[in-house]
């Protein structure tokens, strides 16, 4: 994606906002479920995002692996294993049942064959292992476009991001996707915050007056459910649906 990458908020900025507005992010719940010293894979890790997120919320002792089509700008943290791979065209470079947990946050919408990635995820996930998926929801199709600061590459509408080649999801479609692989579904829902909804008029006014694209994005996403997420567990009966050739 090169220079088209969106300008992401740092994990510390995200966690600070979550502490104010969100009772508990499902991603934080997911992190708390990973067994101590478990192996976790971040698909589309960018700048080691899930590792830094775990640091911010106090979840330690995990063995972190990350993959991305581009090499992160910063050197990996001590003990972190990074492998460059384009998951839209290549299988995951790991043996079967390698990981206790896998996270793929805002990845599937950038892929032309997202179900093939799902097949690979369930291959390398251990039986009983956890999967966290997050992506734009169907509600993102009905939101207005980001009105300013285009150079920051932030989005209010699904089509604001030119690298979106996939589809948005609903909680029901994520549920069905997990069940296609015989996964045990723990949670599927829109990402919303009642506190953000309550304060939205003031957050919106402040973001517009200051032309703060980051705050506008955060407020709109959490007020209206721009994103949807799901957590599932790999069952003994999990099956592969496709074969992704190397």
Q: If 0-12 CB within 10 Å is exposed, 13-18 middle and 19+ buried, where does residue 244 land?
A: middle
Around Cβ 173, how many Cβ atoms within 10 Å? 17
Confidence (pLDDT) at 28: 93
How large is the C-alpha radius of gyration of the chain?
17
Q: What is the pLDDT along the chain (246 residues), one digit of tens a residue?
A: 333 455 555 555 555 666 666 667 899 999 999 999 999 999 999 889 999 999 989 999 999 999 999 998 899 999 999 999 999 999 999 999 999 999 999 999 999 999 999 999 999 999 999 999 999 999 999 999 999 999 999 999 999 999 999 999 999 999 999 999 999 999 999 999 999 999 999 999 999 999 999 999 999 999 999 999 999 999 987 666 654 444
* Contact indicator for 99, 74 with CB cutoff of 8 Å: no
SS3 content of the chain, % helix, strand, coil (to 5): 40, 20, 40
Confidence (pLDDT) at 26: 93
Paired with 169 in beta bridges are 137
Confidence (pLDDT) at 25: 87
Around Cβ 119, how many Cβ atoms within 10 Å? 20
* Contact indicator for 216, 207 with CB cutoff of 8 Å: yes
Confidence (pLDDT) at 3: 38
Domains in the chain, start-ordered, CATH in brackets?
9-232 (3.40.50.150)
pTM comes to: 0.90
Q: Which residue has the tokens 């509600």?
A: 139
Confidence (pLDDT) at 239: 66
Tokens in use for 180? 């296609």
């Amino acid at each position: 994606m090169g220079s088209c990458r969106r300008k992401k908020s740092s994990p510390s900025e995200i966690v600070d906002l979550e502490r104010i507005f969100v009772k508990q992010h499902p991603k934080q719940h997911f992190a708390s479920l990973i067994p101590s010293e478990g192996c976790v894979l971040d698909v589309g890790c960018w700048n080691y995002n899930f590792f830094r997120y775990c640091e911010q919320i106090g979840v330690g002792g995990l063995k972190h692996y990350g993959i991305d089509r581009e090499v992160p700008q910063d050197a990996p943290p001590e003990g972190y294993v990074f492998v460059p791979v384009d998951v839209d065209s290549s299988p995951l470079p790991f043996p079967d049942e390698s990981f206790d947990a896998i996270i793929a946050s805002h990845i599937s919408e950038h892929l032309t064959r997202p179900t093939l990635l799902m097949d690979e995820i369930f291959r390398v996930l251990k039986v009983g292992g956890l999967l966290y998926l997050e992506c734009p929801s169907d509600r993102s199709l009905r939101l207005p476009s980001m009105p300013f600061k285009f150079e920051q590459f932030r989005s209010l509408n699904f089509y604001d991001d030119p690298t979106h080649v996939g589809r948005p999801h609903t909680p029901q479609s994520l549920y069905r996707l997990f069940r296609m692989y015989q996964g045990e579904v723990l949670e599927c829902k829109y990402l919303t915050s009642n506190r953000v909804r309550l304060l939205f008029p003031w957050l919106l006014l402040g973001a517009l007056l200051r032309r703060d694209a980051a705050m506008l994005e955060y407020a709109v996403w959490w007020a209206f459910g721009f994103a949807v997420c799901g957590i599932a567990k790999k069952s003994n009966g999990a099956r592969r649906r496709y074969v992704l050739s190397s």
